[in-house]
Amino acid sequence: MEQFWNSYLFIVLFLALGLILPIGALYVLGPLLRPKNPTTEKLTTYESGIEPFGEARVRYNARYYLFALMFLAFDVEIMFLYPWAVTFESLGMFGLVEMLIFLGLLVIGLVYAWKKKVLEWK
């Protein structure tokens, strides 16, 4: 039973430090270390060097989010190609077939997105 508690002690300690350190840095050390000199100029909204105009809550087309998600999905999947290319010789034919299946699934997803016109930027 003692070994059970010893193994979970590190997990509990890690979780406690994972919560205490960021909270302490943001809410305890932050106010002590940062300068406090708010002025009306500093409290205004900054928008690329120009005065803000219009409503801040603008509705965007969902197509932009789909485009961003498609980019993210393909970008993350490209990360799987690099380790495969590095270990290609040791994987042999099995690795080649597995990567062809993986790339085939990517192409199917790309064709699906293309047919749904997710990739059109309007």
pLDDT in tens, 25-84: 999 998 898 888 888 877 777 767 777 777 777 787 777 787 788 888 888 888 888 888
| Residue from 80, 86, 113 nearest 98 by CA | 80
**Beta strand residue intervals within 24-119, DSSP E:** none
CATH class of residue range 2-115: mainly alpha
pLDDT in tens, 90-113: 988 999 999 999 999 988 988 988
Asked if residue 118 lies in contact with residue 63, where contact means CB atoms within 8 angstroms, the answer is yes
Asked if residue 97 lies in contact with residue 88, where contact means CB atoms within 8 angstroms, the answer is no
